[in-house]
Structure 1
Amino acid sequence: MEARARAHHIRISARKARLVADLIRGKNLDEALSILALTQKKASPILRKVMLSAAANVRFKDDGGHPLPNARIFVKEIRIDEGPTMKRIRPRSQGRAFSIFKRTAHVDITVAADV
């Protein structure tokens, strides 16, 4: 049984979020949450929140009546895609202007339970 959780328009670049996503791909939920708790990156709390949502979704789908422990849930797929880029202008000297790109990302996490 699998479930998915998504977060769109997250204010972090996809490249930076993928660094953290590569650490937890394929791990079980306990191990992934431990890794995220110890990783000092901006993407860590974002991925943790989406992963807990996906775990809650798989528990809701499981109608067996027994609690599903974290050790039996694992990260089947984690995808970080680029979202829309917000373009801003920074005024510079002598009438020039530099472009500022505020990048966003879409996070898609699929978890599965080995029942």
Structure 2
Amino acid sequence: MAKGHRSQIKRLRNENKDTRPKATVSYARVSVTKACFVLDAIRGKDVTSALGILAYNNRYASKVIEKLLKSAIANAENNNGMKVEDLYIAECYANKGPTMKRIQPRAQGRAYRIEKRTSHITVVLDAR
């Protein structure tokens, strides 16, 4: 455990902070496995080609991730003063969110569970 006053611990934590531009969407109504198919297709690509891939990908997750990528690009431009031409996708990952449990009525009074999965998707950009 870190020693020192609370303000010293906070100062150390802020010095080691990642300054790369990023965007996160929480509780996206898409499962992690389905989001990862799309994220694997754009990982490491520059942002213009990644936006092209997402525009012509017919998965539902690609619309969510396209909106997220545009947000990350806007963060890079406005907050960090970076040029769009130099940006590429350094990291992109999806973490498991809470699962909504619903029931589907079945024959003879039974009920089957339907799990509507959610995910937290993050896109981190960097300059080449």
- TM-score normalised by L of structure 1: 0.90
Measure the CA separation in 2 of the matches of 1:11 and 1:100.
14
Q: Which residue is equivalent to 1:75?
A: 89
The answer to whether structure 1 residue 37 and structure 2 residue 37 are counterparts is no
Q: Which amino acid aligns with 1:86?
A: M
Q: Which residue is equivalent to 1:84?
A: 98
- Could you tell me which runs of 5 or more consecutive residues in structure 1 were left unpaired when the two chains were aligned: none
Q: Which residue is equivalent to 1:24?
A: 42
Runs of 4+ in 1 over 2 A off after TM superposition: none
Report percent identity of matched pairs: 39
SS for the counterpart of 1:40 is: coil
Q: Which residue is equivalent to 2:114?
A: 100
Q: State whether residues 21 and 80 of structure 2, in contact with CA within 8 Å, keep that contact through their aligned partners in structure 1.
A: no
Q: Which amino acid aligns with 1:89?
A: I
Measure the CA separation in 2 of the matches of 1:58 and 1:113.
9
Q: Which amino acid aligns with 2:70?
A: L
How far did residue 82 of structure 1 move?
A: 1.1
Higher RCO (CA 8 Å, separation ≥ 6 residues): 1
SS for the counterpart of 2:65 is: helix
Q: Say which is worse superposed, 25-34 or 70-79, in terms of deviation.
A: 70-79
Cα offsets for 1:17-71 (capped at 9, x unmatched): 10000000000000100111111110111101111111111112334xxx71x32
- Could you tell me which runs of 5 or more consecutive residues in structure 2 were left unpaired when the two chains were aligned: 1-18
Aligned length in residues: 110
CA RMSD of aligned residues (A): 1.3
Q: Which amino acid aligns with 2:101?
A: K
Name the structure where helix makes up a greater proportion of residues. Answer: 2
SS for the counterpart of 1:27 is: coil
